[in-house]
Amino acid sequence: MSTNAKLNTSRLLLSKLREGDYAHAGDEEAIDIVLRDVFAFVPSLKEEAVLDVGSGFGGTASYLTRMGFTNVQGFDLDEAAVDYAKEKYRHITFKVADALKINQSYAPQSFSFLSLLNVIYAIQDKECLLKNLATLSKPGGILALFDYAQTKESLTYSVKDLAGNPMYPVHMSTIEQDFKTAGWKLLRTTDMTSHFIRWYRTFLDKLSDQVSILQQEFASQDIQKVQATFAFLLDQFEKGYLGGVIIYAQKKETECADRRII
């Protein structure tokens, strides 16, 4: 595609290995797990407006449309990734936007479902993000957050993602208060650590098996970067320093509301 010269090559490598435009762990299996619980909360959600936060190359938004969602939009800070998604998935609306200033890009109370798959780790001020997303959610709207969790408060290591940016895993000791302060009611928290470990082991095995094929398209340093990053993350999972989590929340009603409005 015309934007490939600007795209993050490590993310392109992920798409190649995962056979889909996904940057989050678990690919389509992870989305299916999220949707299973989301539909338990709101069975009619497919007819409602959906926002994929940090939509990247557009794989998750595309999968949601294939699953029957009729009104899916996405945004990302990475202009090249958004250009890629716009060109490949022309039936979906994508835009370049900053999650911490997202109220400048969408009207208040526009969405009934907001999905964040491996996104919030990249944002340090989680309370600010959750407040901004609350302004976009209709009363009673659902937010699903799938991400890394920091399970040991004494953890002081520094790790960067494939774009070279710092990672800020969810602090399980404080995230509940962040949601409440931002105007969300927590519905459920699901420990996904064992899934992350399985997914990352499978990913690294697949990467090792396909090195010779990948070398035909990607530089050795890019392959090594991806391998080293995921090997480090897997090690942190196995040692108990990192965890995986899904957090489901619902936008709080106004005081005068007597029922959920989607």
User: Where are the domains positioned within the chain?
Assistant: 21-194+242-251
The candidate with the shortest Cα–Cα distance to 143, out of 92, 102, 189, 75, is: 189
Does the pLDDT of residue 163 top 80, yes or no?
no
**In which region does residue 26 sit, left (phi positive, over 0), alpha (psi from -120 to 50) or beta (all else)?**
left
Cα–Cα distance for residue pair 131/152, rounded to 1 Å: 26
Does the pLDDT of residue 208 top 90, yes or no?
yes
**In which region does residue 191 sit, left (phi positive, over 0), alpha (psi from -120 to 50) or beta (all else)?**
beta
pLDDT per position as a tens digit, 53-71: 999 999 999 999 999 999 9
Cα–Cα distance for residue pair 147/121, rounded to 1 Å: 7
Cα–Cα distance for residue pair 115/54, rounded to 1 Å: 9
CATH number of 21-194+242-251: 3.40.50.150
Q: What pLDDT, on a 0 to 100 scale, did the predictor assign at position 237?
A: 94
Confidence of residue 6 (pLDDT cuts 50, 70, 90): confident
Residues in the chain: 262
The answer to whether the CB of 170 falls within 8 A of the CB of 249 is no
Does the pLDDT of residue 30 top 70, yes or no?
yes
Q: What mean pLDDT is predicted for residues 215-221?
A: 94
Does the pLDDT of residue 169 top 70, yes or no?
yes
The candidate with the shortest Cα–Cα distance to 16, out of 229, 163, 217, is: 217
What average pLDDT does the structure give for the chain? 91
The answer to whether the CB of 244 falls within 8 A of the CB of 148 is yes
Q: What pLDDT, on a 0 to 100 scale, did the predictor assign at position 253?
A: 80
pLDDT per position as a tens digit, 171-205: 998 999 999 999 999 999 999 999 999 999 999 99
Q: How far is CA 122 from CA 99, 134, 169, 221, in A?
A: 11, 19, 8, 23
The answer to whether the CB of 203 falls within 8 A of the CB of 230 is yes
Q: What pLDDT, on a 0 to 100 scale, did the predictor assign at position 117?
A: 98
Does the pLDDT of residue 27 top 80, yes or no?
yes
Q: How do 111-117 and 184-191 pair as beta strands?
A: unpaired
pLDDT per position as a tens digit, 101-151: 998 999 999 999 999 999 999 999 999 999 999 999 999 999 999 999 987
